[in-house]
Amino acid sequence: MTVPSGGSAPQGRPQRKQVLLRLDPSVYEALARWAGDELRSANAQIEFLLRKALADAGRLPKETGPIPRRGRPPGDSAPRPPSA
């Protein structure tokens, strides 16, 4: 079952789908630990693993974009001088 996303998507990007997922608690805990080891959320880890499995099976659609980066948007790319 999918639930429609609320809000508007950034221009040029389709909205992301929300999906209800039921997992065994021990599976979720193992997934959350693995995600933490790789500095990802559990949700990002699930998407990473699903994309990898689809790619390995030759089923990842060609039009699939990269996983969106989370967190603070990149600022000025020029390095800042050290503070004195």
The backbone torsions φ and ψ at residue 19, rounded to the nearest 5 degrees and listed phi first, read -130, 130
DSSP assignment of 14-73, as one string? PPPPEE-----HHHHHHHHHHHHHTT--HHHHHHHHHHHHHHHTT-S-TT--PPPP-SSP
* Residue 9 pLDDT grade (very low, low, confident, very high; cuts 50, 70, 90): low
Nearest to 68 by CA among 47, 46, 50, 42: 47
pLDDT tens sequence across 20-79: 999 999 999 999 999 999 999 999 999 999 999 999 999 999 999 888 777 777 776 666
pLDDT tens sequence across 38-52: 999 999 999 999 999
Rounded CA-CA distance 3/42 in Å is 19
Rounded CA-CA distance 46/24 in Å is 14
Whole-number pLDDT of residue 76? 61
